[in-house]
Amino acid sequence: MRMSPAWETVLAKAGLQVTPDEFLSLVEDAARRLAPPHPDPVGYFSPEQREALTDVGLDLGPATRFDTRPRARSVVAIAVLRDSALTVGEAARRLGVDPSRIRHRLGVGRLDGWKDRGGWRLPAWQFAGDEVLPGLDVVLAAVPTDQPPLVVAQFMTTPQDDLDVDGKAASPRDWLLAGGSPDRVAALAAVVGTPA
C-alpha cells in the first residue's frame, strides 16, 4: 500500500527530509533502542498500531538500514523517548512506592527524568520490571549534569566496546542487568558528551 500524500506533506512541513517509509523505519529503530521494556519493535505498538504500520508496508523486524538522516532520527528518538517515559504516578505504581518517593529520587539524582508540561517524565530504560536498574544511582551520579535525557538514553541503550556480555559488546543497561559493575558504567558515563 502506498503512503498517503498527507504523510509526505507533514514530514515536509516539519523540515524532515525523509520519505514516509524512512520515517517509519526511524520510529521502529528508536522504539527498539529507547524503550527497553519492549525490546522487540512489535511489542512497542498496540495491536491497532501494528496493523496500521504493517498495512502501509512497515517491517517491524530489527532495523538494518544505514541511517543518513540525523535530524529525522533525532526527532523520532525524542518522540519515542517521551512517549515511552513514565509519569511519576506510573513509576510509583511500577516500583510499589508512594509518588513522593519518586519525586525525592528525582530530586537527589537517583532517578533520571525531565519536567514536561504535564509534570515529570522518567525514561523507561532505567526500569527493569518492578525495580530500578541495578547500580543506577552510581551511574547517574557520574553522568555530567549538562547532558540532556536523549543523550543519556542513547548512551545507556547503545552497545559499548568496553562492556562485554557473553563475548559481545553490551549496552550499559544490559551490562547492569547481567550483574556487571556499575563502576565500569559510571567511568564511561562520566565522559558522556565530551569530545573524544
Tens digit of pLDDT for each residue in 75-112? 777 788 888 899 999 999 999 999 999 999 999 999 99
Q: Is the predicted pLDDT of residue 66 greater than 60, yes or no? A: no
Q: Output 144-148 pairs: Cβ under 8 A, ≥24 positions apart.
A: 144/190, 144/192, 144/193, 144/194, 146/193, 147/192, 147/193, 148/114
> Looking at the predicted structure, is the pLDDT value of residue 120 above 90?
yes
Under the banding of pLDDT at 50, 70 and 90, the label for residue 20 is confident
pTM: 0.66
pLDDT confidence of residue 174: 94
Contacts 24+ apart (CB under 8 A), 43-52: 44/80, 44/84
* Residue 131 DSSP class: E
Domain ranges of the chain: 5-84, 87-189
Angle at 83 between CA 109 and CA 34, to 5 degrees: 70
